[in-house]
């Protein structure tokens, strides 16, 4: 969790701040669900995003 929050703070949270809680919720939700999980490469996952690594493990184990 510490790495996630560090990445969130250094890669995403705007330096100028947000104008509303709705903007915060939408922005951070997008970062976590779209960028962090589906696009951002993770060193601990052999350079793959979490979603791609999970799909690779499922195909290797035969889990659908």
What percentage of the chain has pLDDT greater than the value 70? 98
- DSSP 8-state symbol, 45: G
Output b/e per residue, 15-33; b: 16+ Cβ within 10 A. Answer: eeeeeeeeeeeeeeeebee
Residue 40: CB atoms within 10 A of its CB come to: 15
Q: pLDDT digit string (tens) for 21-45?
A: 999 999 889 988 888 888 888 888 8
Model confidence at 64, pLDDT cuts 50, 70, 90, reads low
What does each C-alpha distance from 51 to 27, 58, 62 come to in angstroms?
20, 11, 16
pLDDT of residue 5 exceeding 90: no
- DSSP 8-state symbol, 17: -
């Amino acid at each position: 969790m510490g790495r996630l929050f560090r990445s969130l703070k250094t890669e995403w949270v705007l330096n100028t701040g947000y104008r509303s809680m709705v903007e915060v919720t939408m922005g951070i939700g997008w970062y976590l669900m779209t960028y962090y999980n589906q696009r951002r490469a993770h060193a601990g996952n052999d350079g793959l995003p979490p979603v791609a690594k999970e799909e690779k493990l499922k195909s290797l184990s035969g889990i659908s």
